[in-house]
Amino acid sequence: MIVASGSCSCCCCCCLHSLGGLIGASLGAKNAPGVHTGLADRLYWLVLSTLVLLSFVYAFETTEEYVGMALILALVLPLVQLAASAIAAGLVLVSPAQQKRACLKRIGVISLKSFGFAAVGMLAMVAVGVLLSSI
């Protein structure tokens, strides 16, 4: 049995910030009444999916510790989401889209909600860690 002092080793709460980030991004991409920025939503999710897929391909090509690498990728998912936001915003800037300002605003909302919910998830992880360390 491996026991880490002051922390959890069961991985049931280790990725709450990643889950929170995905929930926040989903809420940020939810259509607002009268706003037509589907391009921004599609770009964000396409870029995020591509980055996650490339991360897994790279991880599986460079190591045989698949479970450990998947856990590391889950732990850094909020950073991957931030990169996806930056890349999607860059793609909007160079695209011939007519509603660039609205698309950039939508990507900003997605990023902000993703960051906010990731922060809430991080606080929940810390709270669980503190509770488990006192047991």
Residue 63 has pLDDT above 60, yes or no: yes
Q: How many CB atoms lie under 10 A from the CB of residue 84?
A: 26
- Residue ranges covered by each domain of the chain: 16-28+37-133
Which pLDDT value is given to residue 48?
A: 94
Q: Outline where 1-135 has alpha helix (H).
A: 16-28, 38-62, 66-75, 77-94, 100-133
User: What is the model's pLDDT at position 134?
Assistant: 80
Output the pLDDT for position 83. 95
* R_g of the chain computed on alpha carbons: 17
Confidence of residue 33 (pLDDT cuts 50, 70, 90): low
Mean pLDDT of the chain: 81
Give me the mean pLDDT over the 94-98 stretch: 82
In this predicted structure, what is the pLDDT of residue 11?
Answer: 53
Q: What would the mean pLDDT of 93-120 be, rounded to a whole number?
A: 89
Determine the pLDDT at residue 89: 94
pTM: 0.79
CA dihedral 32, 35, 36, 39 (to 10 degrees): -70
